[in-house]
Structure 1
């Protein structure tokens, strides 16, 4: 993720994104952590992990990198060590958010389509282990990014800003690492989520037809099946999260494929009239927006989450008032 574009649209967009990204994710973490939403502990673990990683994406990529780069360009954040570390944190939190979405999708695939494996895999312990592993690997995978930058210039021996070393584009090892990074996030997750959802849909449709047929033969009528209702609720949550991810990351994936096929390098300057720049910055804007959508999805698809949210909003004014007493 390159430095922030400085322009009126971006100067407004990123503060708004921070405003709709930080509070909702914090609310989601608090509500889900209480375990009162009628979800299993396994699902709750994944949703809390996704909310935490999304919050960290907003903090590192939107607030520190984008807003900090636009409004505080001469701050400590613009020194070479700080922006190098910022890049590592941005990519680590991004990877964690993306791969936790994959892990959640796979968990729901196992729960719905692999009943024999469900009792062993879809557990609170497994979920905690998967989340810890994903976070650890995401951090380790992105450490090399720290060493890809050099100072743009030095003032009084203080290195300022981050300039990508020319060796990153010429050495075979760095080229391979760049390919690996783009494939692991988001191309492979994009394909995995798409494939798992297709398989899940096919299984649910087939199982529902069989179950309706059996109940019809047994009862002589098509009564409301609670099992099908529960599956539908689980399916709605899964598909809402997956479709949101696929749509908001689609432009990023298409742009990556276009760059690799045409051998047209990524745009490194700022030209608000250049279509390549507009496309590239739009992919970043949509990608970051994907870290702000899950809470709204929970509110739309989960009745008990809405109830908990309403209760929280009722007590919020009194809580704020008590803080100022």
Structure 2
């Protein structure tokens, strides 16, 4: 047997094994973790913070994305062919597009809110409200639902597959470009830009804080009193740090996902035309 064929067989074997065990574990652990997060956000004082509204919506969106992975996994394991049936195929693919788009823009939304809270703290109470956050969440969700409606037409089930309708190749290619820009390129760019801006602002505020503390310490001769007089609230610092981590993780985890998505789409087009 040629060496390349041996490596190909090993790669397929490993990929199948990972898909068999990793997918259900990811769905179970991810869904449980997300639902627990939503429970904590809505059954504590955190529900009074606008940031919790965005994080709860993000957790729900991610849970829906994980749950829509179940039918294709069951079909791949030959347990049921539900994923290959008319209607179900389109709905599950549509949900994957909608949740990916809404999750990306939810991360942008709470990053913008944190940007306002850090760099414009006097406007935070007026702009960063729970009511406004809910309106933004509803608006983003509706926009994602409407924008991805073409997926319902471009997707069609085959005997053992749920793939692109060949009669809509040109339209689907155009939609894929628009979707990549709207659901990935623009949100990613905004998140990176805002995070850099927030980090710069935090560093500037900390520098100013330390300088004021030094002046007050010299004037008052009491370091503890100066620390109490000047400085950002610890809770706001923790929230800012947490959201910076969330948005940064989103960027790093979505880069390979979208790269693979573009490669897979290109491969499908090449195979169809060849």
For the aligned pair, the TM-score class normalised by the smaller chain equals 0.7 to 0.9
Tell me the alpha carbon deviations over residues 203-247 of structure 1, each in whole angstroms, 9 at most, x when there is no partner.
111111112211221223473755253342122111110121111
Determine if contact 1:110/1:117 at 8 Å carries over to the other structure.
yes
Which residue in the other structure is 2:181 paired with? Answer: 183
Q: How far apart are residue 181 of structure 1 and its match?
A: 0.5
Corresponding residue pairs, total: 249
One of 216, 219, 233 as aligned partner of 1:218:
216
Which residue in the other structure is 1:236 paired with? Answer: 241
Instruction: State the SS of the aligned residue for 2:87.
Output: helix
Return the alpha-carbon distance in structure 2 between the equivalents of residues 138 and 244 of structure 1.
Answer: 22
Q: How far apart are residue 21 of structure 1 and its match?
A: 0.8
Return the alpha-carbon distance in structure 1 between the equivalents of residues 237 and 22 of structure 2.
Answer: 36
Determine if contact 1:6/1:70 at 8 Å carries over to the other structure.
no
Which residue in the other structure is 1:33 paired with? Answer: 42
TM-score w.r.t. structure 1 length?
Answer: 0.69
Matched, 1:112 2:118: yes
Determine if contact 1:150/1:162 at 8 Å carries over to the other structure.
yes
Determine if contact 1:54/1:97 at 8 Å carries over to the other structure.
yes
Instruction: State the SS of the aligned residue for 1:227.
Output: coil
Higher helix share: 2
Determine if contact 1:50/1:100 at 8 Å carries over to the other structure.
yes
Which residue in the other structure is 1:43 paired with? Answer: 51
Measured at CA, do residues 130 and 72 of structure 1 come closer, stay the same or move farther in structure 2, by a change above 3 Å?
A: farther
TM-score w.r.t. structure 2 length?
Answer: 0.81
Measured at CA, do residues 207 and 6 of structure 1 come closer, stay the same or move farther in structure 2, by a change above 3 Å?
A: closer
Q: How far apart are residue 161 of structure 1 and its match?
A: 4.1
Measured at CA, do residues 268 and 177 of structure 1 come closer, stay the same or move farther in structure 2, by a change above 3 Å?
A: closer
Q: How far apart are residue 24 of structure 1 and its match?
A: 1.0
Which residue in the other structure is 1:18 paired with? Answer: 27
Tell me the alpha carbon deviations over residues 129-187 of structure 1, each in whole angstroms, 9 at most, x when there is no partner.
0000111111111111010133425xxxxxx7433122433x3x433221110111222
Larger Rg: 2
Instruction: State the SS of the aligned residue for 2:215.
Output: helix
Instruction: State the SS of the aligned residue for 2:45.
Output: coil
- CA RMSD in angstroms, aligned pairs only: 2.6
Structure 2: any 5+ residue segments left out of the alignment?
1-13, 270-274
Measured at CA, do residues 23 and 113 of structure 1 come closer, stay the same or move farther in structure 2, by a change above 3 Å?
A: same
Return the alpha-carbon distance in structure 2 between the equivalents of residues 161 and 82 of structure 1.
Answer: 12
Return the alpha-carbon distance in structure 1 between the equivalents of residues 106 and 75 of structure 2.
Answer: 28
